Amino acid sequence: MKSDVLSFIRLGDIADFRNGLNFSKESHGQGCPLIGVGDFKDNFSPKWNELEEINPEGVTKVEDYLKEGDLLFVRSNGNKALVGRSMYVNKDIKSLYSGFCIRARLKTDDVSPLFLAYFTKTKFFRDAISFVAGTNINNLNQGILSEVRIPVFSKEKQSLIVSALSSIDKKIELNNRINTELEAMAKTLYDYWFVQFDFPDVNGKPYKASGGKMVYNDALKREIPVGWSNGTLDNLGQIVGGSTPSTTDKNNFSDQGSAWITPNDLSENQGNKFISKGAMGVTEKGIKSASLKKYPAGTVLLSSRAPIGYMAIARNALTTNQGFKSFVPSKGYSTEFVYFTVKNSLKAIIQYSSGSTFKEVSGAVLKTVKIVLPANELVEEFKGKVEDFFKRQDTLEQENEQLIALRDWLLPMLMNGQVTVKPSSESEKA
């Protein structure tokens, strides 16, 4: 098969590089978006509305700011898997990037910034930076990036490759927007009913706003609707933990093993509500050696340390390591209600955490976190209102997984010329 690749060129010949700046804690929260290593997930571009902000006055120069078309790379991180990960700047927003990142800015029109951005997602690129730096790369630098060879296609071929890949990314982005809207709708209903107490009364009117009877609860030190009671997170279901098989015995782990989740898996899963598996599975031998218990689909996972507060819902039976205190809905409350009630209690959960090395929250502490317990029939009515939202979100997340797999399968073959994309008119003739 004849390749469409015209030649290869050093990245250093077509791009300029600039390291990011280090900012003091005092400069944070002052109005200019800052992209840090923590923002490099699986997202192609920055999630602009989630970025931390800093005060750049007296620190930055004009040339430090990002422009649309720039590429950012993780330069240094304790997690070697993150080093070299890239992100494409898709908007002209006055923004900066941390000192643990390197910016690449093209100085030629012969290479499309988007084409380059997609190329940096390939195994070829990953292998290239490792080859230059050695297989145990911990730090990326401008010299390493400069030596990476970039395949050169005609501008037309670059455009076709970008079009094919970006059409998949646009569908993924659309699904994410739909899921964000569904989440907002479900949360609004939860807050309206169980935080503001304006659930429908017998006449279909907002309970509290329409003068529904409220009673003072001594344990909660607040008024709650008549017929409701006080409780703790322990009332929501069985609170369970997990453990880790010995990592020195490789027979305890397998890619084909049972799903085993770590807090890092939830970190990588941010933006999704459901999770099926982690980066590594456990074998039956590993399960027995660590006395692991499998928890059913619908279990609400909560990371209880390093860090506290990441959440997800089990899509299938799974188990976790010791960094979790998860909720198996076994006491009459639905997964949907448990999920939002735990999420609504995160501030208190984090406040109750302790530990000198790193903060952690125990099962015993979780059982003391106070919550309001509504009438069971109202919880069932809430489930009926939102369970279709949850199912739709689950479906769209799984669709995105398939789209990502398709994109990642196409990406290297498009880049090395194994697969070609024809203009639509040529495709129709074929």
Which residue in 292, 330, 295, 338 sits closest to 314, CA to CA? 295
Provide the CATH topology of domain 229-373: Adenine-n6-DNA-methyltransferase TaqI; Chain A, domain 2 (3.90.220)
- Residue 26: the pLDDT is 63
Helices (H) and strands (E) in the chain, counts: 12, 22
CATH class of the domain comprising 7-153: alpha beta
pTM: 0.85
Give the N- to C-terminal CA distance of the chain in Å, as an integer: 17
- Residue 29: the pLDDT is 67
- 230 burial via Cβ count (<10 Å: 0-12, 13-18, 19+): middle
The domain segmentation of the chain, as residue ranges, is 7-153, 229-373
User: 32 — phi, psi (to 5°)?
Assistant: -115, 120
**238 beta partners:** 328
SS percent in the chain: helix, strand, coil, step 5 = 40, 25, 40
**300 beta partners:** 313, 327
Cβ neighbour number for residue 356 with a 10 Å cutoff: 5
Place of tokens 């908007």: 91
Place of tokens 């344990």: 219
pLDDT by residue for the chain (430 residues), tens only, comes to 455 656 889 999 999 999 998 887 666 667 789 999 989 877 789 988 889 998 887 778 889 999 999 999 999 887 777 888 999 999 999 999 999 999 999 999 999 999 999 999 888 888 888 755 544 556 889 999 999 999 888 899 999 999 999 999 999 999 999 999 999 999 999 999 999 999 999 999 999 999 999 999 999 999 999 999 999 999 999 999 999 999 999 999 999 999 999 998 998 898 899 999 999 999 999 999 999 999 999 999 999 987 889 999 999 999 999 999 999 999 999 999 999 999 999 999 988 887 766 788 899 999 999 999 999 999 999 999 999 999 999 999 999 999 999 998 998 888 877 777 777 654 444 3
Q: Do domains 7-153 and 229-373 have the same CATH topology?
A: yes
Which residue in 207, 177, 206, 110 sits closest to 150, CA to CA? 110
- Residue 310: the pLDDT is 93
Determine how β-strand 96-97 pairs with β-strand 28-35: parallel
User: 280 — phi, psi (to 5°)?
Assistant: -135, 140
Q: Which helix (H) or strand (E) holds 53?
A: strand 52-54
- Residue 428: the pLDDT is 44
- Residue 27: the pLDDT is 66
Determine how β-strand 274-275 pairs with β-strand 308-314: parallel
Long-range interactions of 243-248: CB distance < 8 A, separation 24+: 243/290, 243/291, 243/292, 243/321, 243/322, 244/290, 244/321, 244/322, 245/282, 245/285, 245/286, 245/287, 245/289, 245/290, 245/292, 246/289, 246/290
Contacts of 218 (CB under 8 A, 6+ apart): none
